[in-house]
């Protein structure tokens, strides 16, 4: 495994649309690879879609609450790491 840096935490998950609401602790942008990990969650994916208030954004910054399209189920409290 490569180096990882914690960039956020999942605060909610919308399973109908497979979107995780994440509060960012650092910047995250389209194209970044993330590792989402929790008690029963553990997968990596590339960020292909990110939104704030239903508007597409290219980059989220520390303190922002963003919606990220995810490939698998996530749960509140799961940690989002950026794969460096």
Per-residue pLDDT of the chain (84 residues; tens, 9 = 90+): 579 999 999 999 999 999 999 999 999 999 999 999 999 999 999 999 999 999 999 999 999 999 999 999 999 999 999 999
- pLDDT of 77: 98
- pLDDT of 1: 54
Reading the block at residue 79, the tokens are: 């940690």
* CATH number, position 22: 2.40.30.10
Residue 17 burial class via C-beta count within 10 angstroms: exposed 0-12, middle 13-18, buried 19 and up = exposed
- pLDDT of 82: 98
Domain range for 36 is 4-83
Domains identified in the chain, total number: 1
Task: Strand 42-46: give its sheet, edge to edge.
Answer: 42-46, 33-37, 79-83, 4-14, 19-24, 65-69, 50-52, 55-56
Reading the block at residue 63, the tokens are: 């303190």
């Amino acid at each position: 495994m490569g180096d990882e840096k914690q960039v956020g935490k999942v605060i909610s998950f919308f399973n109908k649309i497979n979107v995780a609401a994440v509060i960012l602790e650092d910047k995250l942008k389209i194209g970044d690879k993330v590792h989402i990990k929790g008690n029963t969650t553990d997968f990596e994916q590339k960020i292909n879609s990110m939104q704030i208030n239903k508007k597409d954004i290219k980059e989220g910054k520390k303190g922002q609450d963003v919606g990220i399209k995810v490939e698998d189920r996530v749960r509140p409290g799961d940690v989002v790491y950026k794969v460096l």
